A and B are shown apart, each in its own frame.
Chain A
Amino acid sequence: MKIVLEHLTKRFPNRNKKIKDEVIAVSDFNFTIPDGKLVGLLGPSGCGKSTALNLICGLEKPTEGKIYFEDLDVTDLEPEKRGVGLVFQNYALYPHLTVRENIRFPLENLRGENKLTREVMEEKVLEAARLVQIDELLDRKPNEMSGGQQQRVAIARALVKMPKVLLLDEPLSNLDARLRLQTREEIKRIQTETGITTVFVTHDQEEAMSISDIIVVMKDGVLQQMGKPQEIYDEPINLFVAKFLGTPQINVFEGYIRDEKAYIGDAVVMDAKGAGDGDVYVAVRPEGFIVDENGPLACNFINREVMGRDTSVIASNEHFLGENIRAIIPSEEEVVPVEGCVRFSLKPHKVRLFDKIIEERIRTES
């Protein structure tokens, strides 16, 4: 099922009634979620991503704009008429019902011609339980299970009616680190097996990167960028997206462009063909540094952290914004600071330039 959002806007009245300004949770969303894809809505807390999900689900009604499922306008449809499955952040399993009863609950609501017999229900419950691999826990109560298991039950309950769209609100945020890894692979597997168009909300960029087919990055209710994970990582459209994706964070320096060359301080760090003169931010991915005794960028060496697979070099530079520079280099390379100084050259495809005022990407010819 393709989901189309057209000029979708949601405004809330301000909590403080004296202030007339409305809070804009979702501002003029225009995009299409292709059929059968796993889409991650990514953004910091309070950016409106849950509201966007609730709009698609129908629990919230948009202030303006339209939502289409394929060609059907569902903007004014109640959630129960949209054929969506929703998984809540805290699972929202009914605590007094067993896993079986929880999963069966949506089926029992079917009325009229859709009414199912006991046997068919039981079959469907088992099928859904098998899909999420909890068929051995059917007679337990939710509080007798781990968070990860509860999450699977919640997914099974959302899937049992075979919805056309599956929506997950921060599905992993209540799990511990190990379970989170496991469950996110599980979500990917279930989505691939069922082929249901799935939208999930997260504030964790790693989570979004690892399982999404498409990532939608949001900030303050405004869509920043939409694309495949690698695309967004490599070609961020603005400084916010560049900083939000990737751990460790991208390293941002204050710099400028003169005569089609990018400078940090006095050092020419890369060519910037086609870019006009002006102040810029020079953002360098941690893996974009090469330790090079003749490199242009001189930094004060602070420390090295050995990870085994690679080594982080912690350094500082007066033009650096933030605490410390973090460069990741292959572990076989030696770092020998000379009088407390280490020099880097930069890999041009790991360096991105952003306008200092509007913080948008400056494209260069390469």
Chain B
Amino acid sequence: MKKNLTAWLCLLPALAFLLVFMVYPLVDVFVYSFEEGYNFASQSYFGVGLYNYDYVLHDPYFIQALKNTFIIVIITVPLSTGIALFISLELSNIKALRDFFQTVYFLPYVTNTLAVGLVFMILFKKTPYSDGLVNILIQLFGGKGVDFIDGPYWAKMFVMCFYTIWIVMPFKILILTSALASVNPMYYKAAKVDDTPPFRVFYKITLPMISPMVFYLVITGFIGAFKAYSDEVALFGTDLNAAGMNTIVGYVYDMLYGNSGGYPSYASAAALILFAIVFTITTINLMVSRKTVFYS
């Protein structure tokens, strides 16, 4: 009993912290989302019901944010994981300059989001003085320039996805190269003696061996992409609704603090909808993984 008490006493600070800053707000968000017209200042509301959800789901800005988020998720998660896997495989195949390339690929990870955003501006943004580096290149090859930052939706989405893939890749490459390095080389020797074609070696040996890490990257990739927000701000500024590039998290933020802000109830409802989506996707991921991921 006494031992138990000591244990609880040691756990107390962390528990208290979690309760106050994690559990209580979560419960609060849940409660807010069902309270109509909750007001911070007066702590009052009109009634209880599904009104907030109804409003959010019919808000064109939310629908736009939902669409953007899903496009970003569906495009960037598979692409970034696939490209990272390819680069990692090539990295583990080369001997010369390997450290150099590993450093190069890791650089975006240690670079500030806003600084990267600035670089992307130089690359893509049209200003009175320049069309942006990419446009200059397009024009050089006889194409017609496009405003990637303030132009058509697909151009903006292209830049957005490009940016997201580029920014999440270093971490994935880091994880995958170490996963590849941890595969015991004797399996490759055995495969070689048995005359296994390279694709089969990858598909039948390498991929199953690193599948836990790939799975981890897919799950965290999905969650991260669903929570996208700061990258959008870095590229398109704070008024994402006007740019048509808002995301769900951006919508939540706008509802709380943005120009049209001050609606904690709507924000809470949107946050819970995001939670439901992420929860569903992660559950599906876990179910799929049970059949495909191999843990030794």
Contacts of A309 in B (CB 8 A): none
Q: Are B193 and A84 in contact (CB under 8 A)?
A: yes
- Total interface residues on B, CB under 8 Å, equals 18
Stretch from B56-64, B88-96, B195-203 at the A interface = B195-203
Interface string of B189-211 (1 = CB under 8 A from A): 11011111100100011001100
Q: Are A95 and B294 in contact (CB under 8 A)?
A: yes
Kindly provide the distance from the CB of A124 to the nearest chain B CB, expressed in whole angstroms. Answer: 14
Contacts of B197 in A (CB 8 A): 109, 111
Contact of B193 among A57, A96, A110, A143 (CB under 8 A): A57
Known: A88-B186, A88-B189, A96-B208. A143 touches B194 (CB 8 A): no
Tell me the dominant secondary structure on chain B's binding face.
helix
Kindly provide the distance from the CB of B215 to the nearest chain A CB, expressed in whole angstroms. Answer: 13
Contacts of A90 in B (CB 8 A): 184, 186
Contacts of A94 in B (CB 8 A): 187, 204-205, 208
Q: Are B208 and A109 in contact (CB under 8 A)?
A: no
State A57–B194 Cα separation when bound (angstroms): 11
- Total interface residues on A, CB under 8 Å, equals 26
Nearest chain B residue, comparing its CB with the CB of A158: B193
Contacts of A341 in B (CB 8 A): none
B296 contacts chain A at the CB level, 8 A cutoff: yes
Kindly provide the distance from the CB of A155 to the nearest chain B CB, expressed in whole angstroms. Answer: 13
Q: Are A105 and B186 in contact (CB under 8 A)?
A: no
Kindly provide the distance from the CB of A26 to the nearest chain B CB, expressed in whole angstroms. Answer: 18
Contacts of A88 in B (CB 8 A): 186, 189-190
Contacts of A106 in B (CB 8 A): 194-195
Contacts of A105 in B (CB 8 A): 194, 196, 204
State A110–B200 Cα separation when bound (angstroms): 12
State A221–B197 Cα separation when bound (angstroms): 34
Residues of A within 8 A of B (CB): 57-59, 78-81, 84-86, 88, 90, 92, 94-97, 105-106, 108-111, 143, 157, 161
Contacts of B294 in A (CB 8 A): 95-96
11 A-B pairs besides A58-B193, A90-B186, A95-B296 with CB distance below 8 A are A59-B193, A78-B192, A92-B186, A92-B187, A95-B294, A106-B195, A108-B200, A109-B197, A111-B197, A143-B296, A157-B194
A-B contact pairs, 8 of them (CB 8 A): A78-B192, A80-B195, A81-B195, A92-B189, A96-B296, A106-B195, A109-B196, A157-B194
Between B190, B193, B196, the greatest number of chain A beta carbons within 10 A of the residue's beta carbon is seen for: B193
State A146–B209 Cα separation when bound (angstroms): 21
Contacts of A80 in B (CB 8 A): 192-195
Nearest chain B residue, comparing its CB with the CB of A54: B189
State A12–B251 Cα separation when bound (angstroms): 63
Nearest chain A residue, comparing its CB with the CB of B201: A109
Q: Are B193 and A109 in contact (CB under 8 A)?
A: no
Contacts of A110 in B (CB 8 A): 195
Kindly provide the distance from the CB of A222 to the nearest chain B CB, expressed in whole angstroms. Answer: 26
Kindly provide the distance from the CB of B98 to the nearest chain A CB, expressed in whole angstroms. Answer: 17
Nearest chain B residue, comparing its CB with the CB of A107: B194
Kindly provide the distance from the CB of A181 to the nearest chain B CB, expressed in whole angstroms. Answer: 26
State A345–B235 Cα separation when bound (angstroms): 97
Contacts of B205 in A (CB 8 A): 94
Q: Are B196 and A79 in contact (CB under 8 A)?
A: no
Q: Are B200 and A109 in contact (CB under 8 A)?
A: yes
State A187–B108 Cα separation when bound (angstroms): 55
Q: Are B196 and A92 in contact (CB under 8 A)?
A: no
Contacts of B196 in A (CB 8 A): 105, 109
Kindly provide the distance from the CB of B212 to the nearest chain A CB, expressed in whole angstroms. Answer: 11
